[in-house]
Amino acid sequence: MDLVPALEEPLKKVLGPPTAKVMAEHLGLHTVGDLLHHYPRRYEERGQLTHLADLPMDEHVTVVAMVADARLHTFASAKAPRGKGQRLEVTITDGNGRLQLVFFGNGVHKPHKELLPGTRALFAGKVSVFNRRLQLAHPAYELLRGDSEETVETWAGALIPIYPATAKLESWKIGKAIQTVLPSAQEAVDPLPDSLREGRGLVSLPEALLKIHRPHTKADIDDARSRLKWDEAFVLQIALARRRHADAQLPAVPRRPKPDGLLSAFDDRLPFTLTEGQQKVSKEIFDDLATEHPMHRLLQGEVGSGKTMVALRAMLATVDAGGQAALLAPTEVLAQQHHRSIVEMMGELAEGGMLGGSEHATKVVLLTGSMGTAARRQALLDLVTGDAGIVIGTHALIEDKVQFLDLGLVVVDEQHRFGVEQRDALRGKGKQPPHLLVMTATPIPRTVAMTVFGDLETSVLDQLPAGRSPIASHVVPAADKPHFLARAWERVREEVENGHQGYVVCPRIGDDEDDPKKARKSAEDEAEKRPPLAVLEVADQLTKGPLKGLRVEVLHGRMHPDDKDAVMRRFAAGETHVLVATTVIEVGVNVPNATAMVIMDADRFGVSQLHQLRGRVGRGSAAGLCLLVTEMPEASAARQRLNAVASTLDGFELSRIDLEQRREGDVLGQAQSGARTSLKVLAVIEDEEVIAEAREEAVAVVEADPDLKNLPALRTALDALLDEEREQYLEKG
pLDDT tens digit sequence for 683-698: 666 777 888 889 889 9
Residues 639, 630: Cα–Cα separation, whole Å: 8
Question: At 417, is the pLDDT very low, low, confident or very high (cuts 50, 70, 90)?
Answer: low
Rounded to an integer, the average pLDDT of 565-575 is: 90
Q: Is it the case that residue 150 has pLDDT exceeding 70?
A: no
In angstroms and rounded to an integer, the radius of gyration of the C-alpha atoms of the chain is 29
Please give the sequence-ordered ranges of beta strands (E in DSSP) within 356-434, or none if there are none. 363-367, 388-393, 407-413
Q: Is it the case that residue 234 has pLDDT exceeding 70?
A: yes
Q: Is it the case that residue 257 has pLDDT exceeding 80?
A: yes
**Taking a C-beta distance cutoff of 8 angstroms, is the pair 89, 102 a contact?**
yes
- Over residues 94-128, the pLDDT tens digits come to 777 788 999 988 888 889 999 999 888 888 887 88
User: Comparing C-alpha atoms, which of 227, 187, 232, 206 is closest to residue 1?
Assistant: 187
Residues 87, 104: Cα–Cα separation, whole Å: 5
- Over residues 527-558, the pLDDT tens digits come to 345 788 888 899 999 999 999 999 999 998 88
Q: Is it the case that residue 237 has pLDDT exceeding 80?
A: yes
Query: What was the pLDDT predicted at 452?
Result: 64
Q: How many CB atoms lie within 10 A of CB 127?
A: 21
Rounded to an integer, the average pLDDT of 456-477 is: 80
**Lowest-pLDDT choice from 279-293, 334-348, 380-394, 448-462:** 448-462
Largest CA distance in the chain: 92
**Taking a C-beta distance cutoff of 8 angstroms, is the pair 437, 295 a contact?**
yes
Rounded to an integer, the average pLDDT of 477-498 is: 92
**Taking a C-beta distance cutoff of 8 angstroms, is the pair 473, 613 a contact?**
no
Question: At 518, is the pLDDT very low, low, confident or very high (cuts 50, 70, 90)?
Answer: very low
Residues 712, 703: Cα–Cα separation, whole Å: 16
Cα→Cα distances 42→72, 86, 128, 194, Å: 33, 35, 21, 29
Query: What was the pLDDT predicted at 390?
Result: 95
Question: Which uninterrupted H or E stretch holds 436?
Answer: strand 435-440
Query: What was the pLDDT predicted at 663?
Result: 47
Residues 389, 371: Cα–Cα separation, whole Å: 20
Backbone dihedral region for residue 67 (phi beyond 0: left; psi -120 to 50: alpha; all else: beta): beta
Residue that wins the pLDDT comparison between 442 and 227: 227
Residues 477, 603: Cα–Cα separation, whole Å: 11
The DSSP secondary structure of 326-347, one letter per residue, reads EEE-SSHHHHHHHHHHHHHHHG
Angle at 430 between CA 429 and CA 435, to 5 degrees: 115
Q: Which of 138-147, 195-204, 422-431 has the highest mean pLDDT?
A: 195-204
**Lowest-pLDDT choice from 216-220, 231-235, 438-442, 474-478:** 438-442
Q: Is the dihedral of CA 245, 251, 257, 262 positive or negative?
A: negative
Query: What was the pLDDT predicted at 670?
Result: 36
Percent of the chain with pLDDT over 90: 29
Cα→Cα distances 234→19, 581, 674, 714, Å: 32, 43, 22, 10
Residues 6+ apart with CB under 8 A from 652: 443, 445, 462
**Lowest-pLDDT choice from 80-84, 186-190, 215-219:** 80-84
* Strand ranges across the sheet with 296-301: 363-367, 388-393, 324-328, 407-413, 435-440, 296-301, 457-461
Question: At 365, is the pLDDT very low, low, confident or very high (cuts 50, 70, 90)?
Answer: very high
Cα→Cα distances 363→353, 494, 679, Å: 7, 43, 46
Q: Is it the case that residue 299 has pLDDT exceeding 80?
A: yes
Q: Is it the case that residue 360 has pLDDT exceeding 50?
A: yes
Query: What was the pLDDT predicted at 156?
Result: 38
Q: Which of 377-386, 579-588, 711-720 has the highest mean pLDDT?
A: 377-386
SS3 62: strand
Query: Residue 53 forms beta bridges with which residues?
Result: none
Tell me the whole-structure pTM to 2 decimals. Answer: 0.63
Question: Which uninterrupted H or E stretch holds 7?
Answer: helix 5-8
SS3 annotation, 241-266: HHHHHHHHHCCCCCCCCCCCCHHHHH
Rounded to an integer, the average pLDDT of 188-212 is: 91
Rounded to an integer, the average pLDDT of 30-59 is: 75
Question: Which uninterrupted H or E stretch holds 702?
Answer: helix 688-704
User: Comparing C-alpha atoms, which of 558, 504, 554, 508 is closest to residue 531?
Assistant: 508
Q: How many CB atoms lie within 10 A of CB 447?
A: 25
User: Comparing C-alpha atoms, which of 579, 411, 412 is closest to residue 492?
Assistant: 579
Percent of the chain with pLDDT over 70: 81
Averaged pLDDT of the chain: 81
Angle at 712 between CA 711 and CA 717, to 5 degrees: 100
Query: What was the pLDDT predicted at 672?
Result: 32
**Lowest-pLDDT choice from 137-146, 313-322, 700-709:** 137-146
Q: Is it the case that residue 330 has pLDDT exceeding 60?
A: yes
Angle at 158 between CA 152 and CA 159, to 5 degrees: 110
Cα→Cα distances 54→186, 643, 685, Å: 37, 15, 20
**Lowest-pLDDT choice from 10-14, 191-195, 507-511:** 507-511
Question: At 667, is the pLDDT very low, low, confident or very high (cuts 50, 70, 90)?
Answer: very low
**Lowest-pLDDT choice from 20-29, 85-94, 154-163, 198-207:** 154-163
Query: What was the pLDDT predicted at 521?
Result: 42
Question: At 355, is the pLDDT very low, low, confident or very high (cuts 50, 70, 90)?
Answer: low
Residues 6+ apart with CB under 8 A from 355: none
User: Comparing C-alpha atoms, which of 676, 652, 503 is closest to residue 590?
Assistant: 503
- Over residues 608-650, the pLDDT tens digits come to 788 888 888 888 788 899 999 999 888 777 888 899 889 888 7
The DSSP secondary structure of 506-571, one letter per residue, reads -SB--SGGGPPP-PPP-GGGGGSPPPPPBHHHHHHHHHHTTTTTS-EEEE-TTS-HHHHHHHHHHH
